[in-house]
Amino acid sequence: MPLTPIYNFSAGPAVLPESVLRTAQSEMFDYNGTGFSVMTMSHRSDVFASILYHAEQDLRQLMEIPDNYKVLFLQGGASAQFNQVVMNFAEGFKRVDSVVTGNWSQIAHSQMGKLSDCTIHLAADGREFHYQNLPPVSSWDIDKDSAFVHFVINETVHGLQYREVPKLESGMPPLICDMSSEILSRKINVSDFGVIYAGAQKNIGPSGATIVIIREDLLERCSDRVPDVWNYKSHVEKQGMYNTPATYPIYIAGLVFRWLQSHGGVEQMETINTLKAKTLYSAIDGSGGFYQNHVHPGARSKMNVIFTTGDAYLDELFAQESTTRGLQLLRGYKSMGGMRASIYNAMPLQGVEALIDFMKEFQRRYG
């Protein structure tokens, strides 16, 4: 182990709990007495079937997923879902409503129309707030006859998050949410959504698996014209085994789900995440302007905290010097500059405190 603790602030692939990594290490060559690794295990073996089953059941327990929702572990990342939701759910509809609040929802908006004849309608656009605040749900321009409403609940690049989870009134289209960077970080009501999807590499496990949670009745929209590999219904009918799933990422995800259960579940994670975010934002706001976060306080992400000194040279110096203190991958997104601290479930409070100590020291030297 290094003398200086290493804290990984990457936005993804992101930090994983140390105990999960140690369990994976101990089971690398011999999983549960089988004599071989999960990496080399047939996805159709009884052993892997058990891994997949328990991962799904643990996720259902953690998120309180109702019985009328199906859970899939797919590949392609969240970005693949930008097209897949349209292919499966928009046939026969004239319009999809799309809420743009930052980088990833903008990409989703631009991609959704590429494989559909329906109009991808801009229901709300955060550009009017310079992506420093979020358009309230009451302002979304939604047609009740739209195929669905798509939004990203937490924008990793711009550091924005809907603190109050959006919910649509009865009779409105299904709500489809990219929850990649905040899934399992706080309690949500799954029944408020038609579909939730999330890339695993932020709060769940390594890259390679994508969680998709689908309200069962929506599967009737999945046309046979959609190729089976992209067809949700085909994957559900094959119990997630239409093709080879990402076996090792699913195994790690299962270990993370068990880690979450042993640490008080989602409710306890929400308490800890709120404390971590409050502590870090207080340090930024209390720096006398040396550090700045321009996001409206009510829209600040609890997962991805962006900040800057306002000086590109100092920002780069901060990113470089922080690594010598074991504070890794704090450089901001390429289009944003500055710094970004991603403080997902597996980031301990001690990591945030270590970052704040360095921030204070850096300000004393350069402020």
Average pLDDT, 10 consecutive residues per value, the chain (367 residues): 81 96 96 94 94 98 98 95 95 96 95 88 96 96 97 97 95 97 98 98 96 98 94 95 95 98 98 98 98 98 98 97 97 93 98 98 96
Q: Residue 3: what pLDDT?
A: 63
Cite the active site residues: 104, 178, 202
Q: Is the torsion defined by CA of 263, 264, 266, 270 positive or negative? A: negative
Q: Which residues contact 273 (CB under 8 A, 6 or more apart)?
A: 185, 186, 302, 303, 343, 345
Q: Residue 330: what pLDDT?
A: 98
Long-range contacts of 62-68 (CB under 8 A, 24+ apart): 62/184, 62/257, 62/260, 62/261, 62/265, 62/266, 63/184, 63/188, 63/190, 63/213, 63/266, 64/190, 65/190, 65/213, 66/190, 66/191, 68/215, 68/216, 68/217
Q: Which residues contact 118 (CB under 8 A, 6 or more apart)?
A: 86, 90, 93, 94, 95, 96, 147
Q: Which residues contact 5 (CB under 8 A, 6 or more apart)?
A: 326, 350, 351, 354
Ramachandran assignment for 310, one of left (phi > 0), alpha (psi -120 to 50 degrees), beta (any other) = left
Q: Give, as one character, the DSSP assignment of residue 342.
A: E
Q: Residue 59: what pLDDT?
A: 98
Q: Residue 159: what pLDDT?
A: 97
Residue 249, H or E segment: helix 247-262
**107 touches 82 (CB < 8 A):** yes
Q: At what angle do helices 349-366 and 312-323 cross, to 10 degrees?
A: 130
Calpha distance 285→300 (Å, rounded):
12
- What is the DSSP pairing of strand 327-328 with strand 7-8? parallel
Q: Residue 1: what pLDDT?
A: 46
